[in-house]
Amino acid sequence: MSNRDLDQLRNCLDRLKIKENIPTALNEIKSILAYKPAAEAAPTIRNVGISKILFCINKTTKSEAELACDVLKICFDKFEPGEAIRSYISHFMYLLRHERDCVRRLAVDEVYKAITSNVNALPLPQYIDVFVAVAQMICDVDIGIANKAVLITSNLPTEAYPKVLEEMKIALDCNNSAKCNAYEVVMNISSKSYDLFQLCAQERYIDFMVNELNSDDILYQLNILELLSQLAVKPHGINYLVKQGMLQKIADQVKELHSNPFGSLLTPGYMKFFGYIAYHYPKEIFGKYPILLETLFEALDSDDSNLLPVAIDTLGFIGTTIEGKMCLATLGSKYTQNIERLGAIIRNSPSELRIRALRCMGNLISVDKDPNSKVESVDQRITLMTREWFRILSKQPSSMEVLYGICKNPFPDIKLAGLILLDATCQHQWGEELVSRVAGFIEYLLDRTTDFNKECNEAKYDIIKRLASSTAFDKAIIIRLQKYVELGPFYSETTLEVAMDGE
């Protein structure tokens, strides 16, 4: 910076001593520094210091404090990420604990910038106090600051966590929002490694979470369940919950939901929790915690608008994997009765439920959605089971005739759900054969004038791509299917006509 700029900057800083001059002087400092290259500005800022600007965040009005924060941000932005904190560490510790939210926000944003640019920008153990201070800011009354603190604390160097987790316990004496922020941090870092999970368990955060499920705060309970489900799908997480009896404790709470006045509000959360675990570990959940299935099937048999949609989604989620399908099949008539129930919903319910039920059946019939299906051949039992499940959906008219009618529905959301189920059936030889037997179905699929919705066009194209290599159709149909695939999902005769007219 030129000597003239430097003199002007010093003059402005001196004028900050007089209260009446503060707004004007701060704005002039902004003008001097804002557009100066970092290479010029940073040495000058180090030379003159920031103490006089910091003074303005206390002895001024809120608007003047915010203006001072703007000036400080400009100063900090002239440094490399983390450099301002290292240069002014005592000032930063003060800023992180300041009573004004604009000041705390400035400080926490600077820490976030440092950590996200380089996790070692603030090396340990020198800057452990910064990390502890930020971790305790998960209790901040300002939601934006608290959320930023959660992000930072979830991504610290591993060696910071023994001290940080110990000091973060202050949140467990705060309100439920602060507690949930602490739990979120714990779940985030527990998923990174077994050692970090062990550290969280030793600090008894997980025990505290499970015990808090006895809270009268419904939303708080549901938040805890959602967070615990993230832990439970990790091998070390599910093992800990089982060995400590925590999963059984949660299952016992499900049994008591019938007598709980808020049971209908809590049941969807517990269903989602166990459903999420059952997706990953169906054998274990089905075998050891039958209350899940009892609750799920009761909900499927009900007309409760809170329970039924979640139950449909949960059943479809569990049955997405091959192992999940096999476990459901072992339930025999208990399960097939619910397939009949899905069929009734598909035929006779309001649109939202019909769409959910169609997508659920799509998951139950599909084999491609299981990640392992790409590397393992599909068990013949799956082929037989899924064919029977599809048949059960409707006796008269047949399931495929019902599905044909749904695919012709003029409403795109229902049509798309129908096409998703059709795609699932066409992953099987029996599905391709059923399509070939329904008069007009293949002609409808090949008709490009019936769909104007992008998602429906893409879904139909995927189905035709499957059918183009099928043995269920004669040669003439296969040629038409292959031609459709060759031209792509969005080809139309009008496109061709316009192109020819242009020539």
Report whether 139 contacts 174 (CB < 8 A). yes
Q: Looking at residue 60, what DSSP letter applies?
A: S
500, pLDDT greater than 50: no
Tokens encoding 59: 């002895």
Average pLDDT over residues 371-390: 83
How much is the mean pLDDT over the chain?
Answer: 91
Q: Which residues of 437-449 are buried (b: 16+ CB within 10 A; e: fewer)?
A: ebeebbeebbebe
CA distance 55 to 316: 60
375, pLDDT greater than 60: no
Judged by phi (left if over 0) then psi (alpha if -120 to 50, else beta), residue 80 lies in beta
- Among residues 485, 408, 393, the alpha carbon closest in space to that of 439 is found at 408
Tokens encoding 56: 């303005």
Average pLDDT over residues 145-162: 96
CA 59, 63, 65, 67 torsion: positive or negative? Answer: negative
Q: What is the pLDDT of residues 229-287, one digit of tens each?
A: 999 888 899 999 999 999 999 999 998 888 888 888 999 999 999 999 999 999 999 99
Place of tokens 């068990």: 379
Q: What is the DSSP code string of 469-482? A: T-SSS-HHHHHHHH
Percentage of the chain modeled with pLDDT above 70: 96
Q: What is the pLDDT of residues 440-488, one digit of tens each?
A: 999 999 988 877 789 999 999 999 999 999 899 899 999 999 998 998 8
- Among residues 257, 214, 211, 206, the alpha carbon closest in space to that of 232 is found at 206
CB atoms within 10 A of CB 249: 14
Report whether 382 contacts 325 (CB < 8 A). yes
Place of tokens 């832990």: 231
pLDDT in the model for residue 493 = 65
4, pLDDT greater than 90: no
Residue 28 to residues 19, 41, 67, Cα–Cα distance (Å): 15, 15, 11
Average pLDDT over residues 208-230: 93
Q: What is the pLDDT of residues 110-120, one digit of tens each?
A: 999 999 999 88
> pLDDT band at residue 180, thresholds of 50, 70 and 90?
very high
Strands (E), 438-488: none
Average pLDDT over residues 139-165: 97
Q: Looking at residue 333, what DSSP letter applies?
A: H
pLDDT in the model for residue 379 = 79
CA distance 163 to 161: 5
Which parts of 118-193 fold into alpha helices (H)?
A: 128-136, 143-153, 161-167, 176-190
> pLDDT band at residue 147, thresholds of 50, 70 and 90?
very high
Q: Which residues of 338-360 are buried (b: 16+ CB within 10 A; e: fewer)?
A: bbebbbebbeebeeebbbbbbbb
Residue 51 to residues 33, 57, 94, Cα–Cα distance (Å): 16, 11, 12
Q: Is 92 exposed, middle or buried (0-12, 13-18, 19+ CB in 10 A)?
A: buried
Tokens encoding 294: 């009892």
pLDDT in the model for residue 376 = 64
pLDDT in the model for residue 499 = 47
> pLDDT band at residue 496, thresholds of 50, 70 and 90?
very low
Report whether 14 contacts 41 (CB < 8 A). no
Tokens encoding 379: 């068990």
How many CA atoms, within 13 angstroms, populate the side-chain half-sphere of residue 389? 31
CA 183, 186, 190, 191 torsion: positive or negative? Answer: positive
Report whether 455 contacts 492 (CB < 8 A). no
CA distance 45 to 74: 10
498, pLDDT greater than 70: no
Strands (E), 353-502: none
Domain ranges of the chain: 1-78
Tokens encoding 227: 């967070």
pLDDT in the model for residue 494 = 60
**Torsion angle, CA of 18/23/29/31, rounded to 10 degrees?**
-150
CA distance 406 to 419: 8
Amino acid at 496: L
Average pLDDT over residues 124-134: 96
CA distance 197 to 174: 23
Q: What is the pLDDT of residues 18-52, one digit of tens each?
A: 888 899 999 999 989 988 899 988 998 998 989 99
Assessment of whether the complete model's pTM goes beyond 0.85 = no
Q: Looking at residue 428, what DSSP letter applies?
A: S
Amino acid at 11: N
